[in-house]
Structure 1
Amino acid sequence: MRTLIAILLSLCATGALAAPQYHAVAMHGSPKYPASFTHFDYVNPDAPKGGLLRRHVIGSFDSFNPFIPRGTAAAGIGYLYDSLTTASQDEPFTQYGLLAHRIEMPEDRSWVIYHLRKEARFADGEPVTAADVVFTFDTLLEKGSPFYSYYYGDIEQVEALDTHRVKFTFKPGDNRELALIVGQLQILPAHYWQEHDFSRGSLEIPLGSGPYRVASFDAGKRVVYERREDYWGKDLPVNRGQYNFDRITFEYFLDDTVALEAFKAGRYDLRVENVAANWATGYQGPALNRGDIVLETFAHSLPTGMQGFVYNLRRPLFQDRTLRKALAYALDFEWTNQNIFHGQYRRTRSYFQNSELAATGLPSEAELKLLEPLREQLPEEVFTQAYQPPASDGSGRPRENLLRAQALLREAGYTVRDSQLYTPEGQPVRFEILLDAPVWERIAVPFARNLQAIGVHAEVRRVDQPQYIERQRNFNFDMTVNVFPQSNSPGNEQRDFWHSSAVERPDSRNVIGLADPAIDALVDAVISARDREELVTSCRALDRALQWGHYVIPNWNLDYFRIAYQRHIAHPASNAPYGLPLDAWWDARSEGKGS
């Protein structure tokens, strides 16, 4: 009897009793696809295999290790790796088994056990085991980018229960997302990295278990991936209809103007276009006239997040909220949209733009329950006004806006002497706007000109990409342009964006330098939301606090992707609402040739 009790206690300790097992886990609600599903709806399950997809990248690369803070990793290197689970792109946040075929966890999500597929193999034929998962986790926390130790900081223990079961145990708290995000770990082969220095970026081709391998490369200029015919997971439902190209290449260019001309000359096959002027006029020419180039838009339901001119609050100058608010009046979005963007954009007002998570109107009763305890720490406008960025008459010289900015600054004790604005303490208001692309100069220079009209001297400075990345990583800037992307299921990444615990951590995404207890509390509310309704409420409350903090000068957004591609590239009939699954596209020249 004692032996039986001991066995039962051991089973309970490892989570082998009672907890249900799943083929997929949704953040809230149930997965869309049942265990018997054969493929995602947004793919063509019969897409032909073969052909070539040529893409482009701006910049350079000097490493095949994307997991460490040193160096610049080659584009597409993620093709070498599989994760425990993979997300569908037609659900807000659901993870389906990839390396793992079952996901075991209790109702409170205090731990999760991933059951690995016995057939999973690295490219050298060695099996993927629970020991590899533990090795990956420990290595990333010890030697990887600081992001990993922060993002997975609430994981208390990782243990290999046997060859094919790995258990993650979480610290006490209400962080229901952890059970899903640990599944996103790209698993490294312990036997390979025990013979190599993980902490050093190099161009030695690494080993993974994913659908492609590195076929060749020209350091800093070009990298070629080839599809693995022996890929262990090619017939899984989550992979069917995807990874169709036999070869995928990334060619590097130092300038996007040159890259666009190379595309029109047929040197590569597909561009995700981010420049409005290019979309409006840049593709004109013989290739477009002949029908060799297709321009197509794909609507999506993704939150567009916040892009904006970002203040670095680590600079004493920008600690003043009134100054931050005033400077926003110098950005003339209406003129910029009409004269530079060909009227294609909408003004961003929310950090969760284009979603139900965005704050609108005045706070609801549910939001007030979160906001009222923080009232003394938040701007009064959070409770009394709906945020809207300044609008202009589109003249390019927003006189009324600049007068409003001057009035705000005078009331706060700022003075102008000899065309120079001074703080109440007598310091000149001067700063640098750090950029890495010529297209941003066309936007920043008129902005700086308007700032000059109120006595603010803003130097627009563009640097090369390596220097830009290094300065961003170390927060060595006054103002820059940054994007804070969002999903339909925000969670732990919000800490990295806004929480005070990330403010001094190099390479964190707290670019603003936020260290505010009220913001911290609202971030914690987002992470601990128990259901969709609580998540929406907490995101809206956080949105209001960020909006009225005037931490960025909001830019603009689109609710569709702009894609230019050569006519031999084909795609499924419908796009996924929450992404752009280019891995489901194929080379039409391969049709009828078999797979």
Structure 2
Amino acid sequence: MLDTTRRRFLLGAASLGAMAAGRPLFAAVPADTPVHGLSAFGDLKYPPGFTTFEYANPDAPKGGIIRLQPGNWLFNQNVQTFNTLNSFVRTGSAPPRMELCFDGLMDGSLDEPDSIYGLVAETVTISEDRNSFLFKLRPEARFHDGSPITAEDVAFSYNLFKKEGHPSLMLVLAEMTAAEAVGEREFRLTFSGKQSQRTILGAAGFPILSEKDLEQKPFDSSRIEAFLGSGPYKVGRFSAGRYIEYERVEDDWANHLPFRNGLYHFDRIRIDFFSDRNAAFEAFKKGETEWRGEFTSSVWATQYDFPAIREGKVVKREFPDELRPSFYCKALNQRRERFRDPRVRKAIAACFDFEWINRNLFYDLYRRSQSTFEGSPYVAEGTPSKEELALLEPLRGKIPEEAFGEAPIQLKTDGSGSDRTILREAARLMREAGWERKDSWLQKDGETFAIEYLVNDETFLRISPGFIRNLRAIGINATMRQVDSSQYQLRVNSFDFDLIDTAFSLGATPTRDTLLQFFHSSTVDLQGSNNYVGMADEAVDKLVEIAAAAQNREDFVVAMKALDRVLRARLDWIPNWDTPNHRVAYWNKFGFREPKPDYGFPVEALWWYDEAKAKAIGK
């Protein structure tokens, strides 16, 4: 799953500053006054001078190793292979958790939805016009080689990301007009005035690189040598495409700060790479890896009966999911003209028989997703409220009429795998869209309607034949094609596909730049963005901007619910399924504090090596 909410670097931005009305955001923060933290709607939890987060454990021991099979990643990272150690560009495949090697000016907490606090920067000062931010750097901030982090390094990093960085970085800096050092320990970031007022919440967390280190190193995906960092870990041993180890920095400059105090206990974090899930599971069963998030329901239901489970050496349990929106869905690439008709998308969605799959393959462990914001307060329910209607009515005629009724839900089949009533309706929709059946396949203007379903994991070959069979039954020439991980990422980044499955976890307060990445016309041609469906709709753009301009959390929730109604009615993203829990198995050698924080679950930061437990199981 692509996680766009790793608190480091990805809180993101929200609200369009040029549209904001009423009191300015950060109104509680006086202009020209240094402050220790910022929050989207002014609700900081931790006061100045706090020493640790409530979910951290300063008494936990340091040491040991965790061999991890990551369940989430970001930027250009890949869990099946890697061929670069530059995680901040669009191309190439980098290993997950490279972000642990770098610090940002500010960082977020895991028990708040959208707050950041000073890390490399001791304070931030907002200008009167809210377009300029002055950061005072901590004098003790150091890179791993002992050299100081200077304002020149910070300026270099921001200018580099704006010009050559991954789209997740470039988008946030689109309205940046200046990134400049003001002396050795002061850095000013300035925006045009057209930026989101909350852009700073994302921009302030970007990684800081060493200008001197990059003098002789190209900033591209050819890098198989790590850049100099300053975070809690640095790259240790690795073999490209096989494994990587991250080593804890013992003399870490930030050990006294809350971002480290009681966190990051393991001496080493190791990630091994597997081309298929079966090999990864076998490695876990043998103890070659020790922590695993399980995403295959049949494995969870039937295969956790190996000796280590029966002997109590491996624990199988569920942890509650984060309080933030997520979605797992099928993306139809509307850069292909044949997918632009909403009737076509509805017909294709009707061919997906979730009820059959859940009953026969998933052991009834999942529920059907309906929203692009599942698991959050932004899921539309029932008919629109008067507040939602106030946003939707001006768009009547430009958005599907279904957005004004009950929140759209997916068709429920009879669970047979081939519901004839629903398939007849799908065939009718295709005819209505102008596609007529000739010589077995649907055709229009001499074109045969075809879909290539692109996958990179053999699991999809097991669960998707029924979907393919139903598509072919209504006359769509549907095929599946499995490619290796590198080719898959290249094709997805360049939008060279018809249909893919994709999963995302968004921020608890989704930001403008996050929403742009997925839903806005400005990213339709931006390769490497998450606008996989090729969405370019003025009405959706308008709702994104309204959500971004919200002045309080209540207005934001209303705008997001209105956006959810329209997205569900358009059916650009065909919902798959979801679960309210993390399914996790781990070798019983770890300690951790419960309950887990509400807005993140980075076990590599939260858990620790328990020597007594490890000895008890021979680890």
Q: TM-score, normalised by structure 1?
A: 0.93
| Aligned-residue offset at 1:499 | 1.1
**8 Å contact from structure 1 (residues 59, 252) kept in 2:** yes
Match of 1:142 in 2: 163
Contact 1:269 1:569 in 2 (8 A): no
SS of the residue 1:54 aligns to = strand
Partner of 2:33: 20
Q: Which residue of 2 aligns with 1:433?
A: 453
The reply to whether residue 480 of structure 1 matches residue 515 of structure 2 is no
Contact 1:300 1:576 in 2 (8 A): no
Q: Does 1:47 align with 2:73?
A: no
Alpha-carbon distance between aligned partners in 2 of 1:218 and 1:182, rounded to the nearest angstrom: 32
> Using a 3 Å threshold, how does the CA distance of structure 1 residues 170 and 369 change in structure 2: closer, same or farther?
farther
Tell me the residue number matched to 2:137: 116
Task: Confirm or deny: 8 A CA contact 2:232 2:252 kept in the other structure.
Answer: yes
Q: Which residue of 1 aligns with 2:241?
A: 220
What does 1:293-372 align with in structure 2 at a 5 Å threshold? 293-372=314-393
Contact residue 305 and residue 351 of structure 1 kept, 8 A? yes
Mapped to 2, the partners of 1:154 and 1:365 lie a distance apart of 34
Aligned residue for 1:72, secondary structure, equals coil
Name 1:459's counterpart in structure 2: 479
What does the per-residue CA deviation read over 1:175-205, in whole Å, with 9 as the maximum and x for residues that have no partner?
2221211111110011111232223522123
For the pair 1:257 / 2:270, whether they are aligned, the reply is no
Whichever residue aligns with residue 28 of structure 1, its letter is F
Offset at residue 378 of structure 1 (A): 0.9
Query: Structure 2 residue aligned with 1:246, among 247, 251, 267?
Result: 267
What amino acid maps onto 2:283 in structure 1?
A
Pick one of 289, 292, 306 that aligns with 1:268.
Answer: 289
Q: In 2, Cα distance between the equivalents of 1:177 and 1:339?
A: 46
Deviations 1:93-137 (A, max 9, x none): 111211112122257643222221110000111111111111001
For 2:6, the equivalent position in structure 1 comes to: none
Rounded to whole Å, the distance in 2 between the matches of 1:456 and 1:376 is: 30
Deviation at 1:219, TM superposition (A): 2.0
Match of residue 45 from structure 2? 32
Contact 2:324/2:508 (CA < 8 Å) preserved in 1? yes
Query: Could you tell me how far apart the structure 2 residues matched to 1:475 and 1:205 are?
Result: 29
Distance in 1 separating the partners of 2:181 and 2:190: 12
Structure 1 residue matching 2:348: 3-state secondary structure:
helix
Q: Deviations over 1:497-516 (max 9, x none)?
A: 11111111111111100111
CA distance in 1, matches of 2:30, 2:116: 23
How many residue pairs match? The answer is: 577
Residue 48 of structure 1 contacts residue 591 of structure 1 at CA under 8 Å; is this kept in 2? no
Measured in 2, the distance between the counterparts of 1:473 and 1:347 equals 27
- Comparing 208-217 with 367-376, greater Cα deviation is found at 367-376
TM-score, normalised with respect to structure 2: 0.90
Q: Secondary structure, in 3 states, of the residue corresponding to 1:101?
A: strand
Secondary structure of 2:478 counterpart? strand
User: Matched residues, percent identical?
Assistant: 38
Change (3 A) 1:257 1:133: same
Map 1:195-210; keep pairs closer than 5 Å.
195-210=216-231
Tell me if structure 2 keeps the 8 A contact 1:89–1:581.
Answer: no
Instruction: Give the equivalent residue in structure 2 for 1:587.
Output: 609
CA contact (8 A) 2:124 2:133 kept: yes
Question: Helix, strand or coil for the counterpart of 1:537?
Answer: helix
Deviations, residues 512-541 of structure 1 (Å, cap 9, x unaligned): 001111111111112222111121111111
Distance 1:553 1:592 in 2: 44
1:380 and 2:393 correspond: no
CA contact 2:62–2:608 (8 Å) conserved in 1? yes
Aligned ranges 1:487-506 → 2 under 5 Å: 487-491=507-511, 492-506=513-527
Question: SS of 2:583's equivalent?
Answer: strand
Say whether the 8 Å CA contact 1:48–1:592 is kept in structure 2: no
Once the two structures are TM-superposed, the CA of residue 592 in structure 1 deviates from its matched residue by 13
Cα 1:349–1:60 change in 2 (3 A) is same
Q: Secondary structure at the match of 2:397?
A: helix
CA separation in 1, counterparts of 2:532 and 2:200? Answer: 27
Q: CA deviation at 1:240?
A: 1.2
Is 1:97 the counterpart of 2:118? The answer is: yes
What residue is the counterpart of 1:125 in the other structure?
Answer: 146
Alignment RMSD (CA, Å): 2.0
Distance 1:300 1:221 in 2: 30
Stretches of structure 1 lacking an aligned partner (at least 5 in a row)? 1-15
Which letter maps to 2:588? Answer: R
Rounded to whole Å, the distance in 1 between the matches of 2:167 and 2:530 is 11
**Amino acid across the alignment from 2:132:** W
Against the structure 1 CA distance between its residues 409 and 238, is the aligned structure 2 distance closer, same or farther, given a 3 Å change threshold?
A: same
Q: Output the amino acid matched with 2:58.
A: P
CA distance in structure 2 between the aligned counterparts of 1:489 and 1:202, rounded to whole angstroms: 34
Q: Does 1:561 align with 2:582?
A: yes
Native 8 Å contact 1:132 1:190 kept in 2 = yes
Deviation at 1:166, TM superposition (A): 1.3
Q: Gaps (5+ residues) in structure 2?
A: 1-28, 71-78
Following the alignment from structure 2 to structure 1, what is the Cα–Cα distance between the partners of residues 212 and 510? 35
Using the alignment, how far apart are the partners of 2:166 and 2:557 within structure 1? 30
2:98 partner amino acid: I
State the Cα deviation string for residues 373-393 of structure 1 (Å, max 9, x = none).
221211111113320011112
Moved over 4 A (4+): 590-593
State the alpha-carbon separation in 1 of the partners of residues 516 and 253 from structure 2: 36
| CA displacement at 1:591 relative to structure 2 | 9.0
Structure 1 SS opposite 2:464: helix
Structure number with bigger Rg = 1
SS state at 1:22 partner: coil
User: Corresponding residue for 2:466?
Assistant: 446
Q: CA deviation at 1:21?
A: 2.5
Contact 2:437 2:475 in 1 (8 A): yes
Go from structure 1 to structure 2 and tell me whether the alpha carbon gap of 1:436 and 1:391 turns closer, same or farther (over 3 Å shift).
same
Task: Name the SS of the counterpart of 2:193 in structure 1.
Answer: coil
Farther off after superposition, 334-343 or 97-106: 97-106
- Residue 581 of structure 1, CA deviation: 2.7
Aligned to 1:12: none
Could you say if the C-alpha distance between residues 214 and 483 of structure 1 is closer, same or farther in structure 2, counting changes exceeding 3 Å? same
Distance 1:174 1:153, change over 3 A: closer
What SS does the aligned partner of 1:162 have?
coil
* 1:72-83 correspondence runs (5 A): 72-83=93-104
| CA distance 1:347–1:568, change in 2 (3 Å) | same
- Determine if contact 2:91/2:490 at 8 Å carries over to the other structure: no
Q: Is 2:178 the partner of 1:157?
A: yes
- Supply the distance in 2 between the matched residues of 1:174 and 1:537 (Cα, whole angstroms): 22
Partners of 1:177 and 1:64 in 2: CA distance: 30
Contact 2:589 2:613 survives alignment (8 Å): no
Question: Contact 1:304–1:557 (CA<8 Å) still a contact in 2?
Answer: no
Q: In 2, are the aligned partners of 1:49 and 1:590 still within 8 Å (CA)?
A: no
